[in-house]
Amino acid sequence: MRYSRACSDSHGLALFPAKDMKYLDFLEVVRSEIIHMLQRREINENQYKMLDDRVIEYLNKITDLK
């Protein structure tokens, strides 16, 4: 689950404190950089999958706390 769907209610209001949003935003930046690394062939698909799974794990830990 992407955090953007989990972070807003039906009115678009943030449900997470600013501190958590900072972590969520950071993890999305990390995911984007991992994708760019794959596109530039700096990492292979197995490395990409492993890194993306780890980022998703952290995202889930943050969103599951709510």
Range of the domain at 25: 3-64
Name the pTM for this structure: 0.66
pLDDT at 55: 95
Which three-class secondary structure state does DSSP give residue 14?
Answer: strand
Per the structure, the count of domains in the chain is 1
pLDDT at 17: 73
pLDDT value at 32 more than 90: yes
Cα dihedral sign, 66-57-24-28:
negative
Which three-class secondary structure state does DSSP give residue 15?
Answer: coil
| 3-28 pLDDT per residue, tens | 444 444 433 335 667 777 888 899 99
* Nearest 10 degrees: Cα torsion 54, 51, 56, 24: 100
